[in-house]
Amino acid sequence: MKTHLGRRPFTSMELHTLFSGYVYGDDKQAREQPKHWHFWLPLLAYYSGGFSDELASLELGDVDIDSTIPVLHLHTHGKIKARKIPIHPHLFACGLSEYVDFLKTQQHSRLLFDLPSKSGRYSEKARIWFSGEGERAGYMQKCHLPTVDQQGHKTALSSLRLNFEQSIRISAMQLGCKPGFYYLMGLKDYPEDDFADLRTLQKIVRGVRIVNAHSHWQRFCARS
């Protein structure tokens, strides 16, 4: 018998709690070993809809921040099509440009360079940090959020993709662009490999609501 009925997106209150937790505040946890990916992975998942393996595999060459319409080029998930996701403006407000400059200075090639792989996958380390394992509490537990609600529905890092899906479904419908929704989600319902109208995709992605306008990578680095 399954322990949960399925995965669900986070509620608005849960999102507020996650993105106002200690990673996005001013104080470190006792015995915390902060990594840059702890700050960036949840944000990237929420604002791009990417899976953790996709996002952790991003090379700097996949992060085009200098074009008229900046994009992330996601292309490593076997069941999901490659796609270019316009970068949500809030990621720049969180310090993405400064972070990329830091990576170049340090000669790192991967965007989430300090997220290690386990058994050839990045998602295992990400899952344990976010959801915990056994008696080890994850970020969700430290934010006092359950991984399974009273109805038996589970929340996890991949729930942030469901939040992205909810948001862009609405904005794509408002713009009358269902193909854009299919493309941004990497679904096979969109038969082509590319989407010519990046500006429309940008408008769709901007439909994702900003959570915690005060988040910034340098604030994360300066925590004490």
* pLDDT value of position 98: 98
Cα(62)–Cα(57) distance, rounded to whole angstroms? 9
* Structure-token pair, residue 55: 């996002």
Mean pLDDT of 9-26: 97
Question: In this prediction, what percent of the chain has a pLDDT beyond 90?
Answer: 89
Given the DSSP bridges, would you call strands 6-7 and 63-64 parallel, antiparallel or unpaired? Answer: unpaired
* pLDDT value of position 149: 87
**Has residue 45 been placed in a domain?**
yes
Query: Which range marks the domain in which residue 189 is found?
Result: 6-221
For residue 92, how many C-alpha atoms fall within 13 Å in the half-sphere facing its CB? Answer: 13
53-79-177 Cα angle (round to 5): 100
Mean pLDDT of 175-195: 97
24-28, 50-54, 75-79, 113-117: which range is least confident on average?
75-79
Which ranges of the chain would DSSP assign to H, the alpha helix?
12-18, 36-48, 52-56, 89-93, 96-105, 123-131, 139-142, 159-174, 178-185, 198-205, 217-221
Mean pLDDT of 34-56: 97
Residue 4 has pLDDT above 50, yes or no: no
Cα(91)–Cα(93) distance, rounded to whole angstroms? 5
- pLDDT tier, 150 (very low <50, low <70, confident <90, very high otherwise): confident
**Has residue 141 been placed in a domain?**
yes
* pLDDT value of position 222: 96
* pLDDT value of position 5: 58
Tell me how far the alpha carbon of residue 51 is from its chain's centroid: 7
**Has residue 86 been placed in a domain?**
yes
**Has residue 1 been placed in a domain?**
no
Residue 116 has pLDDT above 50, yes or no: yes
Cα(105)–Cα(168) distance, rounded to whole angstroms? 35
* Structure-token pair, residue 43: 């944000």
Domains held by the chain: number = 1
**Has residue 188 been placed in a domain?**
yes
**Has residue 155 been placed in a domain?**
yes
- pLDDT tier, 120 (very low <50, low <70, confident <90, very high otherwise): confident
Burial class (CB in 10 A: 0-12, 13-18, 19+), 22: middle
**Has residue 110 been placed in a domain?**
yes
**Has residue 90 been placed in a domain?**
yes
Mean pLDDT score of the chain? 95
pLDDT digits (tens, 9 = 90+) for 57-114: 999 999 999 999 999 999 987 889 999 999 999 999 999 999 999 999 999 999 999 9
